[in-house]
Amino acid sequence: MYIFKNSFFTLILVYFLNLQFAATTNIKKEFAYGLNVYKKGNCMGCHSWHGKGGGGYGAGVSLRTMELSLEDIVYVIKCGRPGTGMPYFYKKSYKDERCYDTKFEDYNNSNRPLSSKKFLSIKQIEAVSFLIKELFQGKELTKEYCEFFFNEGSKVCLNIKN
């Protein structure tokens, strides 16, 4: 009986620890690559680390309140938005591949698509799109995400309640 009780307790403990483990590693495991891309592309330069926008672009560039499908998000990152501050991140855009059915020669100097400083591969674009869709769109900023972006225990995240 003692052995049974003991192993039952161990089982519960293991189960509990596993849950804890899952809760704390999930976001890191699933979105680590996407977050790297977010940082590499300097998306936070215009959309801020929390995705709500800010800086010179204001809250109008929030990735939390937008209503795009995953496919559309991928497209916007690949092609940018000519005539706005959103650059294109795929090297072949407007050269080898048409975007919005256009190429560079279809633009004049005032509305030419802006090139990003660093280009991203399709795989990278898909990863960061997935992150935006799952962690930003329609969601509140969480402490979990904050500590994922910075570091666990980071001062920036102290005042985030949820």
Binding-site ranges for ligand HEC (CB under 6 A): 41-43, 45-47, 57, 61, 63, 66, 68, 73, 76-77, 81, 84-87, 89, 128, 132
At its nearest, how many Å lie between ligand HEC and the CB of residue 76? 5
3-state secondary structure 100-111: CCECHHHCCCCC
If the CB atoms of residues 87 and 113 are measured against ligand HEC, the closer one turns out to be 87
If the CB atoms of residues 40 and 103 are measured against ligand HEC, the closer one turns out to be 40
Bridge partner list, 102: 99
At its nearest, how many Å lie between ligand HEC and the CB of residue 26? 21
Q: What is the 8-class DSSP label of residue 119?
A: -
At its nearest, how many Å lie between ligand HEC and the CB of residue 87? 6
CB 64 within 8 A of CB 138: yes
User: d(Cα 59, Cα 55) in Å, to the nearest integer?
Assistant: 8
If the CB atoms of residues 27 and 77 are measured against ligand HEC, the closer one turns out to be 77
CB 100 within 8 A of CB 79: yes
At its nearest, how many Å lie between ligand HEC and the CB of residue 119? 10
CB 94 within 8 A of CB 103: yes
